Amino acid sequence: MLWPLAGACLLIALLVRLRRTYSIIRVDGDSMAPALLDGDRILARRVPPSRLRRDQIAVVADRSSRDAGFVIKRIAALPGDRVPEIAKDVIADERVPEGRLVLLGDNASTSFDSRALGFFPISDVHAVTVRKVTALTPEEGES
């Protein structure tokens, strides 16, 4: 009698953990092409700032727009790293200060990123991408 209850509790705990740790993100736009295309869905995992690595693709809270969504960009430099030359349009610092990140889109000709917005706060990182998730139907790609 207790086993089914324990199993159900375990399943619920697993679901809660999954929902807290992972999210599915739909990519909107082409600034991460060719790695991620418009409409791609990706599995993203929440990680503490200490586990962020250069070249990871990060999902970051978007402070530049009013709809309080997310932007998805590649981590180009972490605290203490040299600021990449390409990002020095608006950043005068030689090194990335503590608590900040340089984020760049892969598609440099269109991306709206640290080249225009400067540093992003590391605390705004919501998750990093794990892998693409297949869209089973065209409708799912749209949702």
Residues at the site binding another protein, with contacts judged by CB under 8 A: 15, 18-19, 22-33, 36, 38, 41, 43, 59, 62, 64-65, 69-73, 88-92, 105, 107, 109-113, 115-116, 133-134, 136, 140, 143
Task: Give min distance, CB of 1 to another protein, in A.
Answer: 27
Element (H or E) spanning 138, and its range?
Answer: helix 138-142
Element (H or E) spanning 44, and its range?
Answer: strand 41-45
Task: Give min distance, CB of 23 to another protein, in A.
Answer: 5
Distance CA 50, CA 38 (A): 29
- With respect to another protein, which residue has the nearer C-beta, 59 or 122? 59
- With respect to another protein, which residue has the nearer C-beta, 100 or 115? 115
For residue 82, give Cα distances in angstroms to 17, 22, 52, 86: 36, 31, 16, 11
- With respect to another protein, which residue has the nearer C-beta, 1 or 142? 142
CB 70 within 8 A of CB 131: no
